Structure 1
Amino acid sequence: MSNIASNLKYLRRKKGLTQQQFADLMGIKRASVGAYEEDRAEPKYELLKKIAECFDLTMDELANEEIDEKWKPTPKSNASSMRVLSVTVNQDDRENIELVPVKASAGYMNGYGDPEYVADLPKFSLPMFNQGTYRAFEIKGDSMLPLPSGAVIIGEYVENWHDVKPGQTYVVVSREEGVVYKRVAFKYKEDKGLKLVSDNKTYDPYWVSSGDILEIWKAKAFISTELPEPSPEPTMETLTSMMAQMQKTISAVVDNGKG
């Protein structure tokens, strides 16, 4: 039998939150909180995950442990995961995609967990991203060419930083570097953090330490007002050069065969 109802009521009160305050924090209706605490309904998977993260618990602990004053949580590393403390939902009770413009990126390091700050961000939704937690970040500069400055990266929230995969791109939010969009060079290391690489090789790679990282979002799509230009038509000079190179390659193969 699930202990979600009693655990939620105990944890909410221990944190000093009213049902309305907790509902605002989770982006749901107050009546839903009452239904969960009275065991008349159970949160869906995504909401259950957010509730567990809010109280720094696993979903298994929230659902199955009897949490009270005597309960002691299993020690866990804080470096391997972070929590999204606030999201917003649309009229269908589905999570929005909040947009962090470049001009708001400096304030995002302080406000990413503040419900009021997040609620004030521009927001939208896309039908292909209706499961999971997503956020959009406007990027600037030329470090990730061919993506132009001003493009918007849509990222999916990474709960466990050990799930970060080398060679893939992420939006990494850190105290020192702010909001950056980079490619990860190595798998996440708790003692070091992440090594980030720009696709534009004129920029040097660098490490972001574990203690400095606030959030990681896996890049899933991008939006840009700059449409790709068509490939230029080959000139006679280009074709002549290609033919010469092909002849050299063929001659080398023939000479090797004779040898």
Structure 2
Amino acid sequence: MQNIGVKLKEYFDSKGITQKEIADSLGVSKAYVNALFNGRNSFGKEQAEKWVNLYGLSKSWLLTGEGDMLVSSNADVMNENTTYSVPLLPISAQGGSLNDFVVSVKNSECEKVISPIKGVDYAITVSGESMSPEYPSGSQVLIKKINERAFIDWGRVYVLDTCNGTVIKRLFPSDAAGCVVCKSINPEYPSFEVSMEDVYGVYRVLMCMSMK
């Protein structure tokens, strides 16, 4: 367990996330988090599940130390006898700019698609060319909701559900308090800022699926 704790501490230190912030997010004491990092405590199944949901860590890695630390790794790719069905949202993540479109979606109303990885909450279709060629228009991305108040892994691609619509962008910190900078992969599209007060949900992109 010592090795797991050391790797966890290194990971969160690299993200600038303090033990107090972790403790507050999980509803536990700072001493408990410190004991996990130092190997004095080990993860139980229930506590591991909370870390999985909040931080995208692998449950099997937290319990055994085997495999990869993050759920989006190749360790979570399904074998030939395993499938994961996830809801395909009936809206598009805009690859351009905010599109003044708001919609409430129920899972029961969604078409289902097959995901080759586990830990996915939704699939959503990409619209627009600003994220091409890595995320071409018409492709589907598999996304997982995160707790953005805990931390955001800057520079990675996320889907933002905002009051002005849904966008897929790389996220970076902003000089303006309470805002994030949204950047496109295609340099022809300008960056813009979004206030987190206008964001209903943040979803980490785990995988992109497109027709070749």
Q: TM-score when scaled to structure 2?
A: 0.52
Matched, 1:158 2:117: no
- Name the counterpart of 1:195: 181
Task: Give distance in 2, aligned partners of 1:109 and 1:214.
Answer: 11
1:40-71, Cα deviation, whole Å (9 max, x unpaired)? xxxx859x86xxxxxxxxxxxxxxxxxxxxxx
Task: Provide structure 2 residue ranges, at least 5 long, that are not aligned to the other structure.
Answer: 1-44, 51-82
Query: 5 Å matches for 1:1-259?
Result: 45=46, 96-102=85-91, 109-112=102-105, 117-126=106-115, 128-129=117-118, 132-146=119-133, 147-176=135-164, 178-186=165-173, 191-225=177-211, 227=212
Task: Give distance in 2, aligned partners of 1:202 and 1:174.
Answer: 23
Task: Give distance in 2, aligned partners of 1:155 and 1:183.
Answer: 14
Instruction: State the structure with bigger RCO (CA 8 A, min sep 6), 1 or 2.
Output: 2
Relative distance call for 1:152 and 1:107 in structure 2 (3 A) is farther
Relative distance call for 1:155 and 1:108 in structure 2 (3 A) is farther
Structure with higher strand content: 2
Shift of 1:152: 0.6
Relative distance call for 1:162 and 1:204 in structure 2 (3 A) is farther
Task: Give distance in 1, aligned partners of 2:176 and 2:149.
Answer: 9
Q: Which has the larger radius of gyration?
A: 1
Task: Give distance in 2, aligned partners of 1:125 and 1:107.
Answer: 30
Task: Give distance in 2, aligned partners of 1:207 and 1:198.
Answer: 12
Task: Give distance in 2, aligned partners of 1:156 and 1:175.
Answer: 19
Contact 1:111 1:118 in 2 (8 A): no
Task: Give distance in 2, aligned partners of 1:174 and 1:180.
Answer: 8
- Name the counterpart of 1:23: none
Task: Give distance in 2, aligned partners of 1:107 and 1:203.
Answer: 18
- Name the counterpart of 2:38: none
Relative distance call for 1:103 and 1:184 in structure 2 (3 A) is closer
- CA-atom RMSD, angstroms? 3.4
Q: Which amino acid aligns with 1:119?
A: S
1:172-200, Cα deviation, whole Å (9 max, x unpaired)? 11012x1111001227x993222100011
Structure with higher helix content: 1
Contact 1:190 1:210 in 2 (8 A): no
Shift of 1:201: 0.9
Task: Provide structure 1 residue ranges, at least 5 long, that are not aligned to the other structure.
Answer: 1-43, 50-93, 228-259
Relative distance call for 1:160 and 1:192 in structure 2 (3 A) is closer
Give the percent of matched residue pairs that are identical in Structure 1 and Structure 2: 23
Shift of 1:95: 8.0
Q: TM-score when scaled to structure 1?
A: 0.43
Q: Which amino acid aligns with 1:170?
A: Y
Relative distance call for 1:104 and 1:172 in structure 2 (3 A) is closer
Task: Give distance in 2, aligned partners of 1:97 and 1:190.
Answer: 36
Q: Which amino acid aligns with 2:136?
A: P
